[in-house]
């Protein structure tokens, strides 16, 4: 296979082409889309999805899925928000620790149930999706965290930083970089791919599937928790009934567009970042194109299905090809 065709076949290249085509298409219709201001809005829209997408991507690579991240995001945001509200004297990092650790704990429970009882993660996390949402209602007493309870420095993180890029953007891309290092240069990272490619063979190669899988779910929960803080920073409030509802679908859409195979073992950080950027651009472009916001979910759903079909075609070299996988 020549270098050129290999490059063309790379999933990342395909997503990049889609991204460029999309931006070009929107800019043609509405030239003011192509501006640094739009780039700024897109960059502000992505951190929330990007951070959680890193976790979801690892879960998918390990051949699982985590439907509970929306509720984990809400739970962590509420937990951190309550710390901010009730103890304004504490430094900011305490709130961050509360958010990330509570997310990690909930993710740990997911991983534990999935691995100990050998159950499909999709059903387990469908259950914890409701379980955690209920818990967060109980924890918060159904009360919203108001804008004046969110500390000023946290809000500023969504607006400024020394180099004119908001802090949350820097954090999100930092998380992506760390995930890339982890998946490609650590032993556990490679083991996650091995588990996802062949769960039966992985233990035979000396991989301890259970702890690694639990770790993956814990990381996914922790990152959803971090996303909760980004939510609080960006929107300035946390509502138990709204925050994070349906978020899992947005993230799964982004990750699947990013070329992460739902059959496990395949997926890259670069692809996921591009997928998130594409989804972020769609989000920002819709109102600019004059398309009603009501279309957003339908478009996400359509994109997931198209990405699935593309994934299928790439893997097996033909839409109706038999065999493979």
Partner 1 sequence: MNSIEKSPIPATTPRVIVREAAAPRPRWQVWLIRPEVVTLLLLVIAAIVATRLSPFFADLGFILESSTYYIEFAIVALVLTIVIISGEIDLSPAAQMALSACLFGTAFKAGAPIPVAIGVSLLSGLAMGAFNGFFVTVLRLPSIIVTIGTLILYRGLAQVLAGDKSISGFPSWFVGIDYRMVGIVPIPVLIFIAASILLGLFLGITIYGRQIYQIGTSEIAAIHAGIRVRRIKMGLFIASGLVSSIAGLMVASRLGSVRYDLATGGELTMVLIVMLGGTYIFGGRGSILGTFLAAWLLVIIATGMTVANIAINAQLTIMGLLLIVSIIATNAIYARSQR
Rounded to a whole number of angstroms, the minimum distance from the CB of residue 133 to partner 1 is: 5
238 by DSSP, 3-state: which?
strand
Which C-beta is closer to partner 1: that of 94 or that of 135?
Answer: 135
**What residues line the site for partner 1 (CB under 8 A)?**
65, 113, 117-120, 122-124, 126-135, 137-138, 142, 199-200, 240, 249, 252-253, 256, 262-263, 292, 294-302, 304-305, 308-309, 312, 319-320, 322-325
Burial of 85 (0-12, 13-18, 19+ CB in 10 A): middle
Which C-beta is closer to partner 1: that of 126 or that of 170?
Answer: 126
Whole-Å CA distances, 148 to 76, 154, 243: 18, 12, 17
Rounded to a whole number of angstroms, the minimum distance from the CB of residue 167 to partner 1 is: 31
Contact between 264 and 193 (Cβ < 8 Å): no
Which C-beta is closer to partner 1: that of 112 or that of 165?
Answer: 112
Which C-beta is closer to partner 1: that of 157 or that of 282?
Answer: 282
Which C-beta is closer to partner 1: that of 130 or that of 148?
Answer: 130
Rounded to a whole number of angstroms, the minimum distance from the CB of residue 118 to partner 1 is: 8
Let me know how long the chain is. 325
Give the residue from 52, 43, 42 showing the smallest Cα distance to 247.
52
Give the residue from 26, 35, 71, 27 showing the smallest Cα distance to 251.
71
Burial of 270 (0-12, 13-18, 19+ CB in 10 A): middle
Rounded to a whole number of angstroms, the minimum distance from the CB of residue 122 to partner 1 is: 5
Query: Backbone phi, then psi, for 145, in 5-degree steps?
Result: -90, 115
Give the residue from 288, 271, 293, 242 showing the smallest Cα distance to 54.
271
Rounded to a whole number of angstroms, the minimum distance from the CB of residue 186 to partner 1 is: 27
- Residue 206 zone, left/alpha/beta (φ > 0; ψ -120 to 50; rest): left
Distance in angstroms (rounded) separating the CA atoms of residues 46 and 158? 12
Which C-beta is closer to partner 1: that of 98 or that of 260?
Answer: 260
Q: What one-character-per-residue DSSP string does 134-160 give?
A: HHHHHHHTT--B-GGGS-HHHHHHTT-
Rounded to a whole number of angstroms, the minimum distance from the CB of residue 173 to partner 1 is: 27
Rounded to a whole number of angstroms, the minimum distance from the CB of residue 307 to partner 1 is: 9
Which C-beta is closer to partner 1: that of 38 or that of 56?
Answer: 56
């Amino acid at each position: 296979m020549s270098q050129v065709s290999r490059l063309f076949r790379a999933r990342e290249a395909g997503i990049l082409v889609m991204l460029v085509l999309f931006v070009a298409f929107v800019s043609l219709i509405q030239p003011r889309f192509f501006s640094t201001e739009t780039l700024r809005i897109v960059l502000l829209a992505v951190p929330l999805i990007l951070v959680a997408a890193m976790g979801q991507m690892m879960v998918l690579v390990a051949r699982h899925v985590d439907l509970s991240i929306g509720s984990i995001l809400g739970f962590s945001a509420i937990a951190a928000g309550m710390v901010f509200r009730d103890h304004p004297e504490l430094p900011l990092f305490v709130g961050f620790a509360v958010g990330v650790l509570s997310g990690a704990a909930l993710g740990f429970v997911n991983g534990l149930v999935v691995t100990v009882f050998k159950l499909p993660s999709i059903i387990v996390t469908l259950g914890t999706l409701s379980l955690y949402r209920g818990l967060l209602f109980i924890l918060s007493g159904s009360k919203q965290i108001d804008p004046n309870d969110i500390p000023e420095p946290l809000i500023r993180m969504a607006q400024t930083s020394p180099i004119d890029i908001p802090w949350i953007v820097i954090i999100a891309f930092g998380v992506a970089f760390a995930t890339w290092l982890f998946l490609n240069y650590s032993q556990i990272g490679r083991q996650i791919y091995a588990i996802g490619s062949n769960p039966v063979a992985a233990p035979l190669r000396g991989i301890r599937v259970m702890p690694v899988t639990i770790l993956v779910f814990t990381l996914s929960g922790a990152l959803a928790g971090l996303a909760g803080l980004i939510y609080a920073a960006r929107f300035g409030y946390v509502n138990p009934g709204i925050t994070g509802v349906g978020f899992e679908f947005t993230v799964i859409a982004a990750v699947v567009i990013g070329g992460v195979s739902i059959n496990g073992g395949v997926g890259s950080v670069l692809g996921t970042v591009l997928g998130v950027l594409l989804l972020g651009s769609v989000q920002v472009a819709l109102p600019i194109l004059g398309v009603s916001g009501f279309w957003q979910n339908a478009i996400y759903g359509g994109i997931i299905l198209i990405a699935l079909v593309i994934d299928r075609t790439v893997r097996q070299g033909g839409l109706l090809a038999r065999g493979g996988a």
